[in-house]
Amino acid sequence: MKTIEELKAIRENMSDTLAMRNNAEGSIRVVVGMATCGISAGARPVLQTLAQEINKRHLKNVKLVQTGCIGICRLEPIVEVYIGNEKTTYVKMTPEKALRVVNDHLVNRQVVTEFTIGAAE
C-alpha cells in the first residue's frame, strides 16, 4: 500500500465484512469456534465460506462472530446459530456444509438436523 487511494479501496472492500461483524442489531448470530482445536480441524475455511456467502446474499440481519473453545473439541469445527432464544449447534462442519446452513437455516429458517450435535452422537 503506497497511496491513500489504495487504503480507501481496501477500506471499501472490507466494509461489508466489518458491517457483518459489527451488526449489533442482527436478529441472527452465527458463532464459529476458532480456538486451536477448531482451527486445526478446519474452522478457518468454514468461517471464510460463511462470511462470503452471507455477503453474497446480502444478509444484513446476520452477525458473524468468532469465539474460543466451545468445549467439545472432538466435534470441531463447530458453528452455533442463535435465532431469538433458540440455539442450534452444528458440528464437524465443512465449507460445503456451511453453504447449506446459510441457505437452509439462515435464509429459509429450516434447521439442517443431520449436521447438528444430536445427529453426531
Its pTM stands at 0.77
| Residues 67-112 pLDDT 10s | 999 999 999 999 999 998 899 999 999 999 999 999 999 999 999 9
Beta bridge partners of 30: 64, 81
| Residues 46-56 pLDDT 10s | 999 999 999 99
User: Of all residues in the chain, what percent carry a pLDDT higher than 70?
Assistant: 88
Closest to 82 in 3D by CA, of 92, 72, 70, 94? 70
pLDDT band for 24, please (50, 70, 90 cuts).
very low
Quickly count: other Cβ atoms within 10 Å of residue 54's Cβ. 24
Q: Specify the amino acid at residue 120.
A: A
| Domains of the chain from N-terminus onward | 25-120 (3.40.30.10)
